Amino acid sequence: IGCKIVVTLYNYFIAANYFWLLVEGLFLHSLIAVGFFSERKYFRWYMVLGWGTPWLFMVPWISVRATLQDTRCWEIKHLQYWWIYRGPILVSV
C-alpha cells in the first residue's frame, strides 16, 4: 500500500504543478487585462484552483485503479485509466 500512496501523491503533485501553471497564467492575464481589481479577492480562488482541482480527477483515478486494476504497485501505465488524470492536465496547459 505504501507504493500506491507514493504513486498517487506523485501523480497528484505533477497535476498540481500544471494547475499552478494555469493559475500563474490567469494571474498574469488579470494583471495585464484587468489591472484594477484586488489581488487578495481572488487569492483564495487561485489556491482552490491550484491545490483543489487536481483532487477532482485524482479521486476517480484512485477509485478506478483500486477497483478495476489493483495489481501490485500503480506505477504501471494503463492507457485507458491514464487519461483520467492526464486529460485535465492537457486541457489546463
Q: Is the pLDDT of residue 27 over 90?
A: no
Query: Residue 90's closest CA among 11, 20, 15?
Result: 15
pLDDT in tens, 45-82: 888 888 888 898 889 888 888 887 777 777 766 667 77
9: left (phi over 0), alpha (psi -120 to 50) or beta: alpha
End-to-end CA distance of the chain: 31
Is 88 in a helix, a strand, or coil? Answer: helix
Confidence of residue 37 (pLDDT cuts 50, 70, 90): low
* Crossing angle between the packed helical segments 53-68 and 79-92, to the nearest 10 degrees: 180
Other C-beta atoms closer than 10 Å to the C-beta of 18 total 19
**Domains of the chain with bracketed CATH:** 2-92 (1.20.1070.10)
Mean pLDDT of the chain: 82
